[in-house]
Amino acid sequence: MREIPIGWSTVADLAAAVLLAGTVCGCGRRATEVDCQLIVDKSVELQLRDTNQTSAEAIEKREEQVRAELQDEMKSCEVAA
């Protein structure tokens, strides 16, 4: 299985999406860490599928890598008190 690297600009785009999700959510509440994780996972999945990588194992492995890279940003997604 060949891994398609996702560059730093893509990781930066995902980080921006996570931070934006943390401040704005369509239902009138801040996004939770779980919400941010779902955004990251779906973004990774769509990007890999766009490069014809459809293996569930490859997608899961890359999701874990990107989540680790964005760990601090994802922790900042918490419900506002």
Asked if pLDDT for residue 65 goes beyond 80, the answer is yes
The pLDDT, as a whole number, for residue 58 is 92
- Taking the C-alpha atoms of residue 20 and residue 56, their distance in angstroms, rounded to an integer, is 27
What pLDDT, in 10s, does the model give residues 2-59? Answer: 444 555 456 666 666 655 554 444 567 777 888 888 888 999 999 898 999 899 999 9
pLDDT value for 35 = 84
